[in-house]
Amino acid sequence: MRSEASRFARHIALDRSISREDIDTGIYPHADRGLDTYYEWCPRLKPVLATLASALPHPRGLDVGCGTGRAAAEMMTAYRTLDMQGVTLTFHPPVTGHTALPRERIHISHAGSKRFSSQRFDLLTAVGSLDVSDTLAEEGPRVLDLVAPGGFFILTSSIWMSDRSPALLHVMAYGQRQYGMTVRNDTNYLNNFSITFHRPA
């Protein structure tokens, strides 16, 4: 158990270091993804947002690996009743000319921390974050624990990754077994997977 915990901690530390390097070297602004990019990478995001906006007075969302929170902020502009927060491993300074989440809405932490209470969010997104971190097996189930009844989690890969990878299959099985979630696997315009988990109300 201790070796698994230390392995996970090492991967989190490495991911944080890589993010910090992207910022320090000036690479990050080119990866500051907005809502239009999320729509391209997540075929189900727009209909899910519309569903939540029509069904709930104030849907609550969390963008996992949010960076500056640009996409989350643009979601709140497009859907005025949506309450979005973000979680990221390191602080990303806002990019000039881009929208960003207010700093108080961004939590500096890993997604699987105990910062958030279970069943708290109606929408969770992880777009090009958990798929590249090698922490999906540990973080994925914890993210699914955060999905409220009737809520959604959209997990999208920004790099090629098999939709039959052991880590991904583990997360899918957890959602189905623990919460009776339906799992829909779409292919996005990058020809990568975009998986939508839906928890029954």
In three-state secondary structure terms, 66 is coil
Query: What average pLDDT does this structure show over 112-116?
Result: 83
Per-residue burial over 120-158, b if 16 or more Cβ lie within 10 Å, else e, is ebbbbbbbbbbbebbbbbbbbbbbbbbbbeebbbbbbbb
Weakest mean pLDDT among 13-27, 102-116, 122-136, 157-171: 13-27
* pLDDT for residue 23: 81
Cα 12–chain centre separation: 15
pLDDT, one tens digit per residue, over 11-63 is: 777 778 878 888 888 877 778 999 999 999 999 999 999 999 999 999 999 99
User: What percentage of the chain reaches a pLDDT higher than 90?
Assistant: 70
* pLDDT for residue 2: 61
- Which residue type occupies 152? F
Query: What average pLDDT does this structure show over 88-98?
Result: 92
DSSP 161-189: --TT-HHHHHHHHHHHHHH--EEEEEE-T
| Tokens, residue 35 | 């809502």
Query: What average pLDDT does this structure show over 69-83?
Result: 97
At 170, the pLDDT band (50, 70, 90 cuts) reads very high
At 190, the pLDDT band (50, 70, 90 cuts) reads confident
pLDDT, one tens digit per residue, over 176-189 is: 999 999 999 999 88
d(Cα 172, Cα 35) in Å, to the nearest integer?
Answer: 25
Asked if the model's pLDDT at residue 1 lies above 60, the reply is: no
- Which residue type occupies 197? F
The second-level CATH assignment, the architecture, of 2-198 is 3-Layer(aba) Sandwich (3.40)
Start-end of H helices in 66-105: 70-78
Weakest mean pLDDT among 2-16, 34-48, 64-78, 108-122: 2-16
Contact 65, 126 (CB under 8 A): yes
Contact 35, 60 (CB under 8 A): no
Better-scored residue on pLDDT, 1 or 123: 123
pTM for this entry:
0.92
Residue 57 half-sphere exposure toward CB, CA atoms < 13 A: 0
